[in-house]
Homo-oligomer: A and B are copies of this chain.
Amino acid sequence: MPTPATPYLVVDVDRLRRNVRRAADRAAVTGTALRPHAKTHKSPEIARLQLASGAVGLTVATLGEAELFARQGCTDLFLAYPVWVDERCAERLTELARVTTLAIGVDSVEGAARAGRSVGGTGIEVLVEVDSGHHRTGCPPERAGEVGAVARRAGLEVRGAFTFPGHAYARGGAIAAADGESRALAVAAEALRAAGVEPRVLSGGSTPSLELADTDVVTELRPGVYAVGDAQQWELGAMDPGDLALTCRATVVSHAGGRAVLDAGSKVLGADRAAYATGYGRLLAEPGARIVSLSEHHAVVDLAGAPLPPLGSQVDVVPNHSCAAVNLVDRLWVRGTGGPGGAGSAAGPTWWPVAARGLNG
């Protein structure tokens, strides 16, 4: 592999394959559909790996991502977002539904009525988003029937309900989040049935709560970060450092103040720092080290007593949030063979395009 100038992101393909396989096996054992969230990697190569491992389709966050992955050959997409279907959006959705099975989210009576008026009859299905405790979007679970009934009356097939148990992103939060997910989806299912709509899919899932999901209720899981991991998962205890597959190669450019300052800043790592995070990123080889301050092109590292790496030496940084880091680069450099002829081998590519980078709209 030719080495680009630092800082650059690297995917360890062997770890990636292991993570993808593990989640696929677990889904198979529990009889749950796996629909990985492609916003994490935005990469057709990783999507193909997930689909080849038995994923039923992909989850996406934006219409632009949906269009990109459809062009790349994915034939089953769920836009897990309360889409406000304006005129231009309706045209794009209709176009997309010609080439792929497509579902979108709705979380209000108004949103459902509008979606029905705009794309009813095109074969596009909807899932009602319900709030399971994360308090971002989603209607109260007991109102899912009302929203679903409006969607159906407006000409849309209602596939079921979905939620994002994002409150799993807190220290010790995963158990309560998985419990909230199960209860919210069960209540939503009852509400849909009471309104005459039989849900076929009850969709949940987040990486930190993945193994705790109540598969007696949840029929589909949509984790994203599980494929590559990040420092958040490490800190939450949701992934072991040996499974982290995304790192940023960085150079030590300064010893100012007796500390290591790296050339990887927020413009390649992202500036995400959750309340529970102990820094702005970590070093893969030094579990005690923390990035204690971060600007656009500088990361100041507290090495927690480990020896100061020499000026000009390189280290592997684990970004806090892989979804944010990946969206900052055009290429993921590949490490590991991934098997004979696979990515990173002599015959394979040395980088994968982040083809959906920046597709926010």
Q: Are A361 and B8 in contact (CB under 8 A)?
A: yes
Instruction: Looking at the assembled complex, report how far the CB atom of A95 sits from the nearest CB atom of chain B, in whole angstroms.
Output: 13
Q: Choose one: B84, B254, B323; the contact of A296 (CB below 8 Å).
A: B323
CB<8 Å pairs between A and B, sample of 7: A5-B63, A81-B253, A84-B252, A108-B255, A263-B361, A266-B324, A273-B273
Q: A139-B256, A266-B324, A271-B272 are in contact. Are A296 and B110 (CB under 8 A)?
A: no
User: Which of A153-161, A325-333, A339-347 touches B?
Assistant: A325-333
Asked if A137 is an interface residue, CB under 8 A from chain B, the answer is yes
Q: Are B108 and A6 in contact (CB under 8 A)?
A: no
Asked if A338 is an interface residue, CB under 8 A from chain B, the answer is no
Which residues of chain B have C-beta atoms less than 8 A from A11's C-beta? none
Which residues of chain B have C-beta atoms less than 8 A from A252's C-beta? 84
Q: Could you tell me how many residues of chain A have their Cβ less than 8 Å away from some Cβ of chain B?
A: 65
What residue in chain B is nearest A259 (Cβ atoms)? B135
Q: A137-B253, A256-B136 are in contact. Are A360 and B63 (CB under 8 A)?
A: no
A73-87 CB contact bits vs B (8 Å, 1 = yes)? 000000001111010
Q: Are A298 and B257 in contact (CB under 8 A)?
A: no
Q: Which of A39, A254, A264, A293 has the most CB of B within 10 A?
A: A254
Q: Are B293 and A136 in contact (CB under 8 A)?
A: yes
Asked if A215 is an interface residue, CB under 8 A from chain B, the answer is no
> Which A residues contact B (CB, under 8 angstroms)?
4-8, 39, 61-64, 81-84, 86, 88-89, 107-108, 110-111, 114, 131, 135-139, 166, 251-257, 261, 263-268, 270-273, 293, 295-298, 300, 311-312, 321, 323-324, 327-330, 358, 360-361
Copies of chain A in the complex: 2
Which residues of chain B have C-beta atoms less than 8 A from A270's C-beta? 266, 271
Instruction: Looking at the assembled complex, report how far the CB atom of A322 sits from the nearest CB atom of chain B, in whole angstroms.
Output: 11
Interchain CA distance A137-B295 in the complex, whole Å? 11
Interchain CA distance A272-B4 in the complex, whole Å? 27
Q: A61-B297, A108-B311, A296-B39 are in contact. Are A84 and B330 (CB under 8 A)?
A: no
What residue in chain B is nearest A6 (Cβ atoms)? B361
Instruction: Looking at the assembled complex, report how far the CB atom of A166 sits from the nearest CB atom of chain B, in whole angstroms.
Output: 7
